[in-house]
Chain A
Amino acid sequence: MSTKRTLFDKIWDSHIVHQESGKPSLLYIDLHLIHEVTSPQAFEGLRLAGRSIRRPDLTVATVDHNIPTTDRSLPIADPISRQQIETLRENCQNHKITLYDLDSRNQGIVHVIGPELGLTLPGKTIVCGDSHTSTHGAFGALAFGIGTSEVEHVMATQCLPQSKPKTMEVHFKGKLPYGVTAKDVVLHLINQIGTAGATGYVIEYTGEAIRQMSMEERMTICNMSIEAGARAGMIAPDETTFSYLLGRKHSPKDKEWETAVAAWKELATDDDAIYDTRVEIDVTEIAPQVTWGTSPGMGADITQLVPNPASFETSTEQKAAELALQYMGLTAGTPMAEIAIDRVFIGSCTNSRIEDLRAAAEVVAGYQVAATVQAMVVPGSQQVKEQAETEGLHQIFLDAGFEWREAGCSMCLGMNPDIIQPGERCASTSNRNFEGRQGRGGRTHLVSPVMAAAAAIEGHFVDIRNWKFNRKEKADGVTS
Chain B
Amino acid sequence: MESLRKHIGKVVPLDRAHIDTDAIIPKQFLKRIERSGFGQFLFYEWRFDEAGQPNPDFVLNYPIYQGASILLARENFGCGSSREHAPWSLADYGFRVVIAPSFADIFYNNCFQNGMLPLVLPEKQVQELFERAKEHESYQLTVDVENLVVTDNFGLKYTFELDPYRQHCLVNGLDFIGLTLQHEDKITQYEKTKQLQY
Which A residues fall within an 8 A CB radius of B? 14, 17-18, 22-24, 26, 28, 30, 37-38, 40-41, 44-45, 49, 51, 54, 65-66, 78, 80-81, 83-84, 87, 121, 123-124, 129-131, 145-150, 152-153, 156-159, 161, 163, 195-196, 199-200, 226, 229, 231, 251-252, 256, 260, 295, 316-317, 319-320, 323, 413-415, 422, 432, 434-437, 440
Contact = CB atoms under 8 A, between A and B. Distances in A.
A100 to B, nearest CB: 20
Contacts of A320: 16-18
25 contacts: A18-B186, A40-B33, A65-B30, A78-B31, A121-B196, A131-B80, A131-B81, A147-B83, A147-B84, A148-B84, A149-B176, A150-B110, A150-B113, A153-B176, A156-B181, A157-B184, A161-B180, A199-B76, A199-B105, A200-B105, A252-B198, A295-B18, A323-B16, A415-B31, A434-B22
Nearest to A156: B177
Contacts of B18: 195-196, 295, 320
A147 B177 contact: no
A316 B33 contact: no
B35 A41 contact: yes
A37 B18 CA distance: 24
A260 B184 CA distance: 28
Interface stretch (B138-146, B154-162, B187-195): B187-195
B121 interface: no
Given A131-B82, A436-B23, A159 B196 contact: no
A44 B31 contact: no
A24 B165 contact: yes
A413 B22 CA distance: 9
Contacts of B187: 17, 26, 28, 54, 157-159
Nearest to B102: A196
Nearest to B22: A434
A22 B79 contact: no
Contacts of B110: 147, 149-150
Given A147-B113, A149-B114, A157-B187, A83 B33 contact: yes
Nearest to A196: B76
Nearest to B176: A153
Interface string B7-32: 00000000111101011001110111
B183 interface: yes
A87 B33 contact: yes
Interface string B70-83: 00001110011111
Given A26-B180, A156-B177, A415-B28, A199 B33 contact: no
A152 B177 CA distance: 8
A367 B84 CA distance: 44
A49 to B, nearest CB: 7
Contact of A231 (B84, B105, B184): B105
B133 to A, nearest CB: 16
* Most chain B CB inside 10 Å of its own CB: which residue of A18, A149, A229: A149
Contact of B79 (A54, A153, A196, A256): A196
A195 B165 contact: no
Contacts of A319: 15-17
B45 interface: yes
Contact of A260 (B22, B105, B198): B198
Nearest to B107: A147
A28 B195 contact: yes
A145 B82 contact: yes
Interface in B111-144: 113-114
B196 A123 contact: yes
A417 to B, nearest CB: 11
A99 to B, nearest CB: 16
Contact of A49 (B33, B76, B177): B177
Contacts of B75: 196, 316
Contact of A157 (B17, B82, B83, B181): B181
A80 B31 contact: yes
B57 interface: no
A148 B176 CA distance: 13
Given A22-B165, A28-B195, A295-B18, A413 B177 contact: no
A303 to B, nearest CB: 26
The 3 closest A-B pairs by CB, nearest first: A149-B113, A147-B84, A40-B33
B35 to A, nearest CB: 4
A480 to B, nearest CB: 30
A83 B181 CA distance: 32
B102 A81 contact: no
B177 A163 contact: no
Contacts of B35: 41, 44-45, 148
Contacts of A17: 183, 186-187, 190
Contacts of B183: 17-18, 26, 159
B172 interface: no
A124 B184 CA distance: 21
A14 B84 CA distance: 29
A54 B188 CA distance: 10
B102 A153 contact: no
Interface in B79-93: 79-84, 87
Contacts of A152: 177
Contacts of A260: 198
B164 interface: yes
B106 A146 contact: yes
B186 to A, nearest CB: 5
A316 B17 contact: yes
